[in-house]
Structure 1
Amino acid sequence: MNYSHTFILAICTGLFLSFCSRAQDQRIIAEGAELTVVSDDFEFTEGPAADKNGDVYFTDQPNNRILKWTAKDNSVAVFMEKAGRANGLYFDAEGNLVACADEDSELWKINGNKEVEVLVSDYKGKRLNGPNDLWIDPKGGIYITDPYYQRPYWERTEKEIAEERVYYLAPGATELKIVASDLEKPNGIIGTPDGKKLYVADIGAGKTWSYSVAEDGSLTNKELFTNLGSDGMTIDEKGNIYLTGDGVTVFNPEGKKIERIKIDRDWTANVTFGGEDLKTLFITAMNSVFILEMEVRGVR
């Protein structure tokens, strides 16, 4: 072999190893992992949120209950009945479970003894459309999406607030602040761990937007993240964003699609990371919940 051939081989080998390294870096699903049904004994599952131990709480909204998946033994048990028709859930820094209580369009805080504190019940005297999903920032401020979905258990049949908005409840505040009012039907919402960027899915328009978060919690620099809406959503340690609906579709921080997880259900409602090491993707879809072991971790 002459020097030129040796040189070319070295370059090709280097390129191949570089490609393999990049491919491995981009892999987010654990090698050999398979999607597993935890249970399909529900009516419609939503709102998964992991506590400090990695156990995941989720809702079965038609049956008005919150359930708990215990990561250690892969078991599911009822946590709370008469749960305000809770939809989206999220844990605050003190370990309280904050819930979008859809029955009376409220925002609840549920402590470890299952005692409920109503954080928000209206906006300037008008009933909210129906708090759907939420994210809590590092300072303890709460963002909620407020789309209108007519529920069979409501007596009302129309909105009191025309706009379907995103609101912010500042730490210690009792009144909501409007932070986005130009969306058709905001639904899924998630922020980055540093609290500097917020993603909001407009499921009505079929788009997901990113915003910069100001010091007071207001949103600026609205930019299109991807031409795909979402029900629920989550984020991993690399900043990848997980959107739901037709399975789970994953985008890198630049908005490039990097993965599609097919779910054998008509609709995939929500997703989060759980497990002791936050490397278990927990997925709610119709009457079922699924888990999938991942190469990447979620973020608290």
Structure 2
Amino acid sequence: MMKYKICLAFSLSIILAHGVMAQVVAPGAALKMVANGFRFTEGPAADRYGNVFFTDQPNNRIWQYGTNGNLSIFMEPAGRANGLYVDHQGYLIACADEQYELWRIGMDKKVEKLAIHYQDSLFNGPNDTWVSPTGVIYFTDPYYQRDYWSRTAPELVAEALYMYKNGQVTRLDDQFKRPNGIIGSPDGKLLYVADIGDNKTYRYTVRKDGTIAGRQLFANQGSDGMTIDEKGNIYLTGKGVSVYNAEGEKIEHIDVPANWTANVCFSGTNHDVLFITASDKVFTLQMAVKGAR
């Protein structure tokens, strides 16, 4: 009997360690398609109320999906915006890819250009962004040749991670093949950056001044976009959505019926609905966990 109890306890510990019991999707929940007919959806970002802003970059639009289920165009044209994030003052931070800039957009649609170059060179094309609790903006700057650009080569050799703070841009890390997705912990102490070009995701410790240290391999998977939940689980995208716990162990995979899953965020009045941008479609999924913010 004692041997049986020991084996049972050991088996349960194995199950818990591998996340089988750590369910993140609500029981019985299924993907719901909100809308289709877009060209390529990206950059979902929720405000404090759970409303979502997302982009359709080829069509140069930012859309808004309200907690009431209404879908409407928020801004057009939109600087070919890609990744978005709603900061703690309610402004929309946008990676405006058309002229390789970082924007801050008010709810009145007024645009402030925060960063337009690094030193004397234009950015490659800011792609994804996250804002820390202290207001520091982090963004990735890979090079993806766009058909609406006149240039055919980058001015910057490095595809890098940057910080925008107090009007200044600082390069934090340039050891990537192609950085892309980015998210931070709600306490601002950890930063996760995906190198989609090398199929890896890294974790950093954030210092008090906003700079980073202690680069560690978090997962052997890259990601287009990323989010984080209240338990510290990290959501990576590409072929569906893969969920990793805080130790970097894969605990869940969500299949998405689309050619490519670009990005995710938590939405809804309780911040417990996963909003998924996937090629020409957007989906929602009821979760058993809430997003961290």
TM-score band w.r.t. shorter chain? over 0.9
Give the C-alpha shift of residue 218 in structure 1.
1.3
Task: Give the alignment of 1:1-300 within 5 angstroms.
Answer: 26-72=22-68, 74-170=69-165, 173-300=166-293
State the SS of the aligned residue for 1:53.
Answer: coil
Residue type matched to 1:267 in 2? W
State the SS of the aligned residue for 2:58.
Answer: helix
Give the C-alpha shift of residue 146 in structure 1.
0.1
Task: Supply the distance in 2 between the matched residues of 1:20 and 1:251 (Cα, whole angstroms).
Answer: 15
Task: Supply the distance in 2 between the matched residues of 1:91 and 1:10 (Cα, whole angstroms).
Answer: 50
Structure 1 residues 21 and 104: CA distance shift in structure 2, 3 A: closer
Structure 1 residues 17 and 222: CA distance shift in structure 2, 3 A: closer
Gaps (5+ residues) in structure 1?
Answer: none
Q: Please tell me whether Structure 1 or Structure 2 has the larger radius of gyration of its CA atoms.
A: 1
Moved over 3 A (4+): 7-25
Structure 1 residues 97 and 13: CA distance shift in structure 2, 3 A: same
Cα-Cα RMSD: 1.9
Residue type matched to 2:56 in 1? D
Identity of aligned residues (%): 52
| Kept after mapping to 1: 8 A contact 2:60/2:79 | yes
Task: Supply the distance in 1 between the matched residues of 2:174 and 2:7 (Cα, whole angstroms).
Answer: 53
| Kept after mapping to 2: 8 A contact 1:47/1:270 | yes
Structure 1 residues 160 and 16: CA distance shift in structure 2, 3 A: closer
State the SS of the aligned residue for 1:62.
Answer: helix
Residue type matched to 2:72 in 1? A
Give the C-alpha shift of residue 125 in structure 1.
2.3
State the SS of the aligned residue for 1:26.
Answer: coil
Q: TM-score, length-normalised on structure 1? A: 0.92
Aligned length: 292
Gaps (5+ residues) in structure 2?
Answer: none
Task: Supply the distance in 2 between the matched residues of 1:206 and 1:20 (Cα, whole angstroms).
Answer: 27
Give CA-to-partner distance per residue, 1:219-272, whole Å, 9 cap, x none.
Answer: 111110011100000000000000000100010010100000011111110001
Structure 1 residues 181 and 31: CA distance shift in structure 2, 3 A: same
Residue type matched to 2:217 in 1? L
| Kept after mapping to 2: 8 A contact 1:123/1:175 | no
Give the C-alpha shift of residue 120 in structure 1.
0.7
Give the C-alpha shift of residue 76 in structure 1.
1.1
| Kept after mapping to 2: 8 A contact 1:190/1:199 | yes
Task: Supply the distance in 2 between the matched residues of 1:293 and 1:131 (Cα, whole angstroms).
Answer: 30
